[in-house]
Amino acid sequence: MFPAGFSGNRSAMKRLFDIVASLGGLVVLGWLIVLLAVLVRRDSAGPGLFRQERVGRNGVPFTCLKLRTMRIDTVSAASHDTPASAVTALGARLRRWKLDELPQLWNVLKGEMSFVGPRPCLLIQRELIEERRRRGVLALRPGITGLAQVQGIDMRDPVRLAEIDARYGASRSFLGDLALILRTVAGGGQGDRVAS
């Protein structure tokens, strides 16, 4: 049994960490984000940044930022449903090193995302949205990385994915989040896999 206010204190600590770390990340890595965005534009036609509506906390949509990794004529779909041929050569490298997620530091600073949480899905992923709703997962801020990503869970299985997301929600802790961040930086898991 947790003491009164424990959950609120835990959430406040998580949000404080998100603000400080995302602001620090933008200050330190801002130049890299700009450089990579320029390289993306030079590598293939289209903008350096990719903006896409995703499902946020409590099911409220928000604009998720990423470095563009796909050709501009690619039909909007979840990354694991996108053929490898749609991903640019530079985009594949950015995904491999998870550098395409760097602009999401801005989403974290704004409070639309957290460093750790369920990965934000597209509005068209209705089955996953419903499975997450049933399990209370939508009450969480979506994250840049999450438990499902470091475990390499098949992103095409919405039930299994929602179960892992719910498990994270039930057992999340500040130290646990730090461990997931370190595992992500160290290359743990496969992230959002792309179908070949």
For residues 117 and 168, what is the distance between their CA atoms, to the nearest angstrom? Answer: 8
How confident is the model at residue 133, as a pLDDT? 98
Whether 161 and 78 have beta carbons less than 8 Å apart is answered as no
Percentages of the chain per state (helix, strand, coil), in multiples of 5: 55, 10, 35
Three-state SS letters, 7-61: HHHHHHHHHHHHHHHHHHHHHHHHHHHHHHHHHHHHHCCCCCEEEEEEECHHHCE
Among 67-76, 105-114, 120-129, 185-194, the minimum mean pLDDT is found in 185-194
| pLDDT tens per residue, range 43-52 | 999 999 999 9
For residues 162 and 129, what is the distance between their CA atoms, to the nearest angstrom? Answer: 9
Return the SS3 of 66.
strand
Q: Is the pLDDT of residue 195 over 80?
A: no
Return the SS3 of 92.
helix
The gap between the terminal CA atoms of the chain, to the nearest Å, is 47
Report the DSSP pairing between strands 61-67 and 114-116: unpaired
How confident is the model at residue 154, as a pLDDT? 80
